[in-house]
Structure 1
Amino acid sequence: MEIRCSVAGRLLGPLCCGLFLFVLLLLEGSAVFQAYAVDVEVRDDSNVTCLYAKWMMNLSIIYESELNEYKSTALMLPDSVSYDGSSCGNEASGPVLAIEFGEGHLWSISFTKTENTYQGSISFTYNTNDTVLFPDAKRKGQITTFANYPSRPIELDTVFICHNVDSVEADNVTQDLWNVTLQAFLNEGSLSNMMTQCDKDMAPSVPAAPVTAAITTDADSTNSTTESNAIRTFPPLPTPEPGEKPATGIYSVKNGTTDCLLASMGLQLNITGKYSLLMNIDPNTTTASGHCGSTTAVLNLKDTNCEIDFLFAVRNTSSERFYLKEMNITVFDSTNGTQFSGNDNLSYWDTSLGNSYMCRKEETLVVAPSYKVNVFDLKIQPFAVKEGQYSTAEDCSQDVDNFFVPIMVGAALAGLVALVLMALFVGRQARRNAGYEQL
């Protein structure tokens, strides 16, 4: 068995064969992750390609901490990985691409076929003993999730194509894949000139203007390359008109069949710097998910182009109050790559436990200097929801009132002191004038 990168992959350098290549950048003090394309082929002992894979991918995991809080982490793969376990299979099993990395993490995809179709199965094992990714995980050890990919069987001798984001969710793991080119059980090691597009690309199996890819049959041989004349990308990121207010979305998270988190708000992403974006979140295309716990709650809002995570926590004091502790923002953009920023040290929307928080005015949540979220017409309750209804709301305008009252009291006291001093001054002047008249 041999694993090689195709022409596009070799241009990345000697470590190009890593299944996932992420570059960690620091942008104005916040963590920003950039995902890059993968270009890998698996060959048998005869140097014939049995599996070709090219895609971009993000991994995110939600785990429970020792304080019973739900936290999210974005997985970054190192440049150096092990391919032990990868093979072209045999008569009983199909090709497998296995990647081992870090402290006991393993991602693999194996393929099976029927008379007319083939399909992959992803197995992802992450190790919560990795203190870098999971510094305070309550559950220790390796956790494995399974999911089919593609979600439906693909016709044999066709290339699977998916340019839009295709999410694979299993338990607490979300894998977002896009710009996918994939074929297993290649005929004589060559990519097919037929393609099957994913449901997200909204196209049936059609004869292909062949796929952009290169399969090499020998290290020194001439590459056989096929090119596409109809490559699709992400839908363009919508840009609101100046002054356009985002529509208000109504979201909820359920614990079984019961609502445990309620939210109503309009959201607008405002990203500045080298990567700039102003985008209203469309509630009509946004789905809500999350978790509810006794001390933490998570609201995940996901659209075609972006994903926003809100993590609420109960303060570890006797005051019995909750607040917005953490936010993570992911933007999918085929031009600039995937952008990510997060902050787990926020302190917004402080509210008494058992109440909801409401704010009709525009608020700006600063996740990082270049990553902000403008919030409109907010009403949120992440804890103690009863019968699917909001409890008594604490209004953000009270914050203004709380400052206004002491200011007015201080002003009144200052005025009173001024009047007393003035009265003393007038009285002294009057006594002084009376003395002059007697003389």
Structure 2
Amino acid sequence: TMAPRRPYGLELLSLLLLGTCGFFQSYAVEVDVKDASNVTCLYAQWMMKFLIKYETNSSDYKNTSLDLTPTVTHNGSICGSDTQAALLAVQFGDGHSWSVNFTKNNETYRAEFITFTYNTNDTAVFPDARRQGPVTIVVKDGMHPIQLNNVFVCHHTTSFEAENVTQIFWNVTMQPFVQNGTIGKKESRCHADTPTAAPTVLPTVANVTTASTTISPAPTATPKPVENPATGNYSLKTGNKTCLLATVGLQLNISQDKPLLINIDPKTTHADGTCGNTSATLKLNDGNRTLIDFTFIVNASTSVQKFYLKEVNVTLLNHLNGSVILSADNNNFSKWDASLGNSYMCRKEQTLEINEDLQVHTFNLWVQPFLVKENKFSIAQECSLDDDTILIPIVVGAALAGLIVIIVIAYIIGRRKSYAGYQTL
């Protein structure tokens, strides 16, 4: 049996963030696979979401999100045995599917591969997609071996990135190769979970159809002054060749009931992404708390080819349990432009308006997304905020104006003194 549901925790989050542009909801899914004797052999409950970048008919790239739908099937799921892998497979929406297979030995089991197929014919999710039909991605799971008859539990967010797709999972409770139809009572937690993570209701065969997962709301804290963020150095490579360089300090400004400033810590931030001839994306992951994507494109319509920042996508995660609480993007930017082959620099603070509730502030920015040579930035085109040359004519003009004022005042005073002496005579 399978029972996707919208848990109470997400309803609470939706009330807290009501009106926030880009907030999305997902569904908790339960799968109870039974063998020929109608006994549970595989149990799973989890939440997941997909962030996908796809090409449009105009050769631009768009970011979209794909969530589980209220109606989910699990056709093709297999119990598994000593000689056959177990398979957990679900289908949802308009031709989308996801699956993971498990293998075991005498003492442990582990997940091997995750297969995700999305269908770009789903125009509600992929409007104006250039490629039509199903697209399949296979990712090797990094899950450590789990003791047989233990339940694997991971409240914290786990994500996999491959081929322009980010798969995000949280609040996972899973056990393949269930023995004698009884879900194990002992948990094996993922490393990311902490003692403060949301509690789990361990499933049993008796309550498997009523088990629920809750998500705690993001904590509210009194805002305090936040210093400018530290500057991070990021790079991408194609093979052994550097294809993108970026130096920047990043700060998020979230305007909800109480304004919140979040600095992105370069020490805990991992850079990933893609490089191309006309499009490049830098993906920054701040310790599974914040995901920020910057997409650059080349404008070939001008006589001199230039690149510029086209799109920024931000995903904010709950720092207690890793659940996704906010997602927003803006794909109408025309900023940070420079001639192709050069770099763009702006030392002063700049603001990127993602939506009315979310801003990204940048500090000490220096970026080159194309034609990087010898792992070094090329000649920089500086922003107008950094251009101090305009101060020279201003200073000279002010000095001349002051001199003229002094001369006029001296002339007036001199005339008055001369006139007053003549009257006395």
TM-score interval, normalised by the smaller of the two chains:
0.7 to 0.9
Aligned match of 2:95: 104
Aligned match of 2:2: 3
Distance in 1 between residues matched to 2:234 and 2:49, nearest whole Å: 24
Shift of 1:60: 1.7
Q: Per-residue CA shift, 1:373-417, capped at 9, x if unaligned?
A: 111111111122111111111211368779989999xx99xx9xx
Shift of 1:297: 0.9
Q: Per-residue CA shift, 1:350-382, capped at 9, x if unaligned?
A: 222222111111111101110101111111111
Secondary structure of 2:144's partner? strand
Give the partner amino acid of 1:215: T
Aligned match of 1:58: 49
Distance in 2 between residues matched to 1:172 and 1:49, nearest whole Å: 36
Give the partner amino acid of 2:327: F
- Contact kept in structure 2, 1:59 and 1:74, CA below 8 Å: yes
Aligned match of 1:308: 292
* CA 1:128–1:104: 2 relative to 1, 3 Å: same
- Contact kept in structure 2, 1:270 and 1:374, CA below 8 Å: yes
Residues 1:192 and 2:175 are matched in the alignment: no
1:330 to 312, 315, 340: 315
**Aligned 1:18-167 pairs, distance under 5 A:** 30-66=21-57, 68-89=59-80, 93-120=84-111, 121-149=113-141, 151-167=143-159
Distance in 2 between residues matched to 1:178 and 1:219, nearest whole Å: 19
Secondary structure of 1:376's partner? strand
Secondary structure of 1:33's partner? coil
Aligned match of 2:254: 271
* CA 1:202–1:211: 2 relative to 1, 3 Å: closer
Task: Point out where structure 2 has 5 or more consecutive residues left out of the alignment.
Answer: 402-425
Q: TM-score scaled to structure 1, two decimals? A: 0.75
Shift of 1:325: 0.7
Between stretches 111-120 and 134-143, larger displacement belongs to 134-143
CA RMSD of aligned residues (A): 4.2
Secondary structure of 2:94's partner? coil
- Contact kept in structure 1, 2:294 and 2:309, CA below 8 Å: yes
Between stretches 192-201 and 277-286, larger displacement belongs to 192-201
Shift of 1:339: 1.1
* CA 1:57–1:158: 2 relative to 1, 3 Å: same
Aligned match of 1:171: 163
Shift of 1:98: 2.1
Q: Per-residue CA shift, 1:319-362, capped at 9, x if unaligned?
A: 42221110100011157742101111112212222221111111
Aligned match of 1:215: 204
Shift of 1:39: 3.8
Q: TM-score scaled to structure 2, two decimals? A: 0.78
* CA 1:175–1:90: 2 relative to 1, 3 Å: same
Shift of 1:280: 0.5
Give the partner amino acid of 1:343: N
Shift of 1:300: 0.5
Residues 1:256 and 2:275 are matched in the alignment: no
Distance in 2 between residues matched to 1:316 and 1:26, nearest whole Å: 40
Residues 1:290 and 2:273 are matched in the alignment: yes
Task: Point out where structure 1 has 5 or more consecutive residues left out of the alignment.
Answer: 17-21, 204-209, 416-439
Give the partner amino acid of 2:138: F
Distance in 1 between residues matched to 2:235 and 2:25, nearest whole Å: 30
Distance in 1 between residues matched to 2:222 and 2:291, nearest whole Å: 16
- Contact kept in structure 2, 1:164 and 1:233, CA below 8 Å: no
- Contact kept in structure 2, 1:3 and 1:43, CA below 8 Å: no
Identity %: 46
Give the partner amino acid of 2:307: F
* CA 1:243–1:398: 2 relative to 1, 3 Å: closer
Shift of 1:136: 4.4
- Contact kept in structure 1, 2:343 and 2:381, CA below 8 Å: yes
Shift of 1:257: 1.1
- Contact kept in structure 1, 2:7 and 2:28, CA below 8 Å: no
Give the partner amino acid of 2:148: L
Aligned match of 2:336: 349
Distance in 2 between residues matched to 1:233 and 1:29, nearest whole Å: 18
- Contact kept in structure 1, 2:223 and 2:259, CA below 8 Å: no
Shift of 1:250: 0.4
* CA 1:226–1:314: 2 relative to 1, 3 Å: closer
Aligned length: 391
Give the partner amino acid of 2:70: D
* CA 1:188–1:148: 2 relative to 1, 3 Å: farther
